[in-house]
């Protein structure tokens, strides 16, 4: 199935800004499904999304998840595709 992508990108941050944000602990770092994902791209976007209030982070995360659906943990598929 070819799921359309939004192609929205997370807000631009410098490497230093990103490191500074991710250095701060968030209460959901250890429990959020996306922040603990084994895929480093999903984990990175998930941790950023916890720390920022930018809808583009969530759209970018959704695009990455749709591209990974053959390899997703079963908990992600219903979360990403609730109508299935």
- Please state, rounded to an integer, the average pLDDT across all residues of the chain: 77
For 18: left if phi > 0, alpha if psi spans -120 to 50, otherwise beta; the answer is alpha
Would you say residue 28 lies in a domain? no
Would you say residue 65 lies in a domain? yes
Instruction: Residue 42: name the closest of 76, 12, 74, 14 by CA.
Output: 76
Would you say residue 48 lies in a domain? yes
Would you say residue 3 lies in a domain? no
Would you say residue 69 lies in a domain? yes
Distance (Å, whole) CA 69 – CA 14: 29
Give me the domain span that covers residue 74: 35-84
What's the pLDDT tens digit per position in 13-34? 888 988 998 999 999 999 998 8
Would you say residue 76 lies in a domain? yes
Q: What is the pLDDT of residue 14?
A: 86
Domain count, the chain: 1
Would you say residue 56 lies in a domain? yes
What's the pLDDT tens digit per position in 37-57? 888 888 988 999 899 888 888
Would you say residue 62 lies in a domain? yes
Cα radius of gyration (the chain): 13
Distance (Å, whole) CA 37 – CA 16: 23
């Amino acid at each position: 199935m070819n799921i359309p992508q939004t192609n929205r990108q997370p807000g631009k941050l410098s490497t230093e800004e990103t490191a500074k944000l991710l250095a701060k602990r968030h209460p959901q770092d250890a429990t959020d499904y996306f922040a603990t994902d084994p895929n480093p791209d999903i984990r990175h976007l998930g941790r950023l999304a916890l720390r920022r209030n930018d809808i583009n982070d969530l759209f970018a995360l959704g695009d990455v998840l749709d591209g990974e659906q053959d390899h997703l943990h079963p908990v992600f598929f219903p979360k990403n595709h609730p109508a299935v």
